[in-house]
Structure 1
């Protein structure tokens, strides 16, 4: 199979080979990048959605926690007023005491809008109630009997009773309850019990907005994995501890994918630290991928268009590139037939034009000279080429760059013009100028040009913010002081960062030294990476040579000014890296400044 492919490739013409190569070089990166981008985009949406839902779920649980905590606080504070306790503990209550207790219960029920009913039971079978629908549920006395031992075991703490369906009048409603044993504050003996019935809608109101956004379903489970709330009201009051979905929701919060009845869901869960309740949100993956499907379709159309354009463009370019070669081939066939009077029209100044020109010269020389003369001429041309190579110098490079810049200006290609200008200025700054010291002003001007080139190179928008005192701009420093530090920030600090890249350079001075601080907001370094840089600055041999530029700047400062000066490096992960350049306060500069 491999041999057949190779023979097929060999049989192709140069034009066909070029078209094939161009199509592969254009199509493969486009398809690969498109697939990776689509996959990354989809994963990013799922990740951000899960994070958003977790944050919203946490706020919802905090609202529910606050509601439950408020009820618990009510049951644990106001009920211990002295007159209420005395009335509740009295077996033979007067009419006034009964009224006092009844009014007290009504007052408790009015504290929270979502509280449906409040019931207080004494130890003698008496019940005091307040309901907002004026109907007492039929099973309340039996529930009080069932809860009596449970609240006693709680030793004065409130307990939360999972959601239950309660028939009020002729209507079935869902409530969850909070109960507490009431104790005498002096003897700590139980004198009764209080039960708050709260509408499950207190949770429903909190999650409704979330369900509208996610187009999904929300369930709230208590610490025993019994469903307190279900936005579809299918599993309320059902214990789902053995359910596979619940068993996957391990830990305080997280997310995972699951398939329910053939439909894929992104499941996000959050656990309350107060009640131990767990909120589980099921988000249809179809809803998440609506936007990505549009992106996918657009990407596919773009890829197909790109491939079509690549095919057409490749064919045009390949034919244009090989046309001079085909002309040369036809001419050589004439020469092969001993026709030495042929000439190739020279229409191009590129390699094909040069080739045609040399071919024509060769034909003429064959007619004029013997083989020895031809070889002599070849050696002469080689000597001329070496001579030209020896003439290349920095001035030639700079002048050539200026020609390129002006050509780009004429063709209105201002990006190339600016890049060429900046490169020329960098060469002039680093090569042509003889002095080793420059002012801070010139060093910063050089740095701005260097950063402009790096932005072109990496297709980034790295911002440079200068907070340099006007007086410090004339300070003389060694050449290329800032560039290696900024280069290190670009290559390492901003390697994984695409936007909001900022480098800040500031200055200040005290009696001992003048300080120039270069700070970036990149990814930062951990202690081990900092140690590598500091070891390199101390001259210790390191395997990693990435930080040789910083070490070189530090060494040049020490050689110029002494061991008391140099670089100080600090960094923090996800915050950035700070390099402080410590230089002496030069008396000559200080007097002139």
Structure 2
């Protein structure tokens, strides 16, 4: 899809392209700036709100912590009065002891306005209480055993008991409790238990202040995920282990986003160090971003007006600036209709003016070239006629050799006839076909004719043995690669040898390379001569002697035609002969060379 759009864009006119590019360059940055500004502004509002709400939440938790700490101090200090301890520890209490303990309980209940009730239990089953409504809760006796076990585990420290519903004949409100085990200060023996019931409005008043700021909801839970208080008072004293909001509020403090009843909320939470209670505040994001949305709408309106004005100006400038180019295109179309008698008027010295000057110069040059080509064509025809005349000379030589061969045939001198025939074929192979590529079998056919002539020349019996692989017979190569190497073997390798002169040719293939090995059983070369020839081939310099001219020429032709990775490799030893390996690309007949 993007490629198709790009191809369509490429086909548009330059004016259209410029207008499109300007639209993109103006519109996209402005929209991106507006988007990022709005996003950053919204994010900043959320961050600032989180900081502010966290501060208020911590203040609220500190107020609750302060209240609970005060209750804990009361439970830990007032009861250390010796006469109270003595009265509470007696198994059989007098009326004076009971009155003293009851008055002490009423005094504790009056210390805090939000204290709903105070209960003091001795270890003999008796208890004393004081309530603001003169009625104790119905379940206090049933819960004593459980509470005694919990305070005993605290080992003298106060414990905070989560919110419960106050069940009494006259009240149905919620409360939370602080309890402590009472011990003899001298013997540290347990002498009873004290419980403070506090009205939940201690937390409700603080949460109400927070909700007025956030316009959201607040949930306070204990360390067991039981709700101490929530703004809507529908989850109080309910365990929320499986609630997703509670699960997301992991750790001591943090924030996250949550969607509840189709509305997005920014949730923050913090944990009290005194009670271990966690306060989760749900802030509706739409209320946070109301001001940001208003700012966004005004910004988008201004951006839209800027875009319209910028686009109008861009289109006008584009059409104005590209007008000379359109005029030049119309002039070029006239030239395309073979009208070379046109000139583009130069009005300015800018880029279009320079282009117009060059165009006019080009038109003049084209007119001159047309005339020059006309005259060149005439001269070319004359040169072709002269070339046809020069071709008569090679044909005269071939025809003359053929007459000599036929004369030798008539006189039954078959040796001269064969020599003449082979010489003529060598000339045709080397001259008429030029330097085009041939197949291996054509090259071997030429090589066999060459060896036949050399046997006549030196009166030797030089044996040429070709045992290449069958598929290599049809591989293509540039011509006249093998003859110089064989010639070098005959002239230098067999110089002192009259019989048993053998030249063997084999082939191998490796990946995309094919290797032809030419091996003779001549006299070979010493190490110094071999190093000199190798150095000449590698350096592409002048050959060190005439014996290496043919080899260096073959190596250079291979490298020039196929590339530097191809060429010759020479191995030789005195008295054992020489092996020349030719590395060529594996190109079969009918395939194109990719070198």
Conserved? CA contact 1:328–1:344, under 8 Å: no
Asked whether 1:201 is paired with 2:197, we answer no
How far apart in 1 are the matches of 2:3 and 2:219?
62
Query: Hey, what does 2:284 align to over in structure 1?
Result: 284
Alignment of 1:440-459 (within 5 A): none
The aligned residue for residue 234 of structure 1 is 234
Q: State whether structure 2 residue 293 is matched by structure 1 residue 293.
A: yes
What is residue 213 of structure 1 aligned with on the other side?
213
1:137 maps to 2:150 = no
Compared with structure 1, are the counterparts of its residues 159 and 341 closer, same or farther at alpha carbon in structure 2 (3 Å cutoff)?
closer
For residues 349-368 of structure 1, what are the structure 2 equivalents within 5 Å? 351-352=351-352
Gaps of at least 5 residues in structure 1 are: 372-593
Aligned residues of 1:181 and 1:190 also touching (Cα < 8 A): yes
Per mean C-alpha deviation after superposition, the further-off stretch among 28-37 and 266-275 is: 28-37
**1:342-399 Cα deviation digits (max 9, x unpaired):** 85555xx75456767x689979x98xxx99xxxxxxxxxxxxxxxxxxxxxxxxxxxx
**Deviation string for 1:186-231 (max 9, x for gaps)?**
1222222211010111111222222122222111111121111111
Quick check: 1:315 aligned with 2:283?
A: no
Correspondence 1:17 to 2:17: yes
Report if the CA contact (8 A) 1:334-1:342 is conserved.
no
Quick one: distance in 2 between partners of 1:3 and 1:175? 70
Secondary structure at 1:266 match in 2: strand
Q: CA deviation at 1:149?
A: 2.8
When residues 328 and 140 of structure 1 are mapped into structure 2, their CA distance, relative to the original with a 3 A threshold, is: same
1:49 matched to 2:49? The reply is: yes
Q: Which residue of 1 aligns with 2:271?
A: 271
Asked if structure 2 preserves the Cα contact closer than 8 Å seen for 1:121 and 1:194, the reply is yes
Give yes or no for the alignment of 1:153 onto 2:156.
no
The answer on 1:75 being equivalent to 2:75 is yes
Which residue of structure 2 aligns with residue 244 of structure 1? 244
Deviations 1:28-85 (A, max 9, x none): 2222333333334434433443343333322222221121111111101111111221
Aligned length: 365
Determine helix, strand or coil for the equivalent of 1:106: helix
Work out which of the two has the higher radius of gyration on C-alpha atoms and give 1 or 2. Answer: 2
Paired with 1:118 and 1:3, the residues of 2 have a C-alpha distance of: 81
In 2, are the aligned partners of 1:159 and 1:180 still within 8 Å (CA)?
yes
SS in 2 for 1:171: coil
CA contact (8 A) 2:343 2:360 kept: no
Is 1:31 matched with 2:31? yes
Deviation at 1:340, TM superposition (A): 7.1
Residue 240 of structure 1 deviates from its aligned partner by: 1.6
Q: Helix, strand or coil for the counterpart of 1:29?
A: helix
Is the Cα contact below 8 Å between 2:344 and 2:360 reproduced in 1?
A: no
Mind listing any 5+ residue stretches in structure 2 that lack a counterpart? 370-595
Q: Closer, same or farther in 2 for the Cα pair 1:5/1:173, shift >3 Å?
A: closer
Q: In the alignment, is residue 222 of structure 1 matched against residue 209 of structure 2? A: no
CA apart distance, 1:290:
2.7
CA distance in 2, matches of 1:2, 1:218: 50
Corresponding residue number in structure 1 for 2:103: 103
Decide whether the 8 Å contact of 1:271 with 1:277 is kept in 2. yes
Name the Cα RMSD after superposition: 3.3
Matched, 1:180 2:180: yes
Aligned to 1:540: none
Q: How much does 1:313 deviate? A: 1.9
For residues 41 and 341 of structure 1, do their structure 2 counterparts lie closer, same or farther at Cα, with a shift above 3 Å needed? closer
- Aligned twin of 1:476: none
Instruction: Confirm or deny: 8 A CA contact 1:258 1:267 kept in the other structure.
Output: yes
Moved more, 103-112 or 7-16: 7-16
- Do the aligned residues in 2 keep the contact of 1:331 with 1:343 (CA within 8 Å)? no
Query: Would the aligned equivalents of 1:344 and 1:360 in 2 still touch at CA under 8 Å?
Result: no
Distance 1:6 1:99 in 2: 98
Q: Distance in 1 between matches of 2:175 and 2:107?
A: 20
Aligned residue in 1 for 2:260: 260
SS at match of 2:30: helix
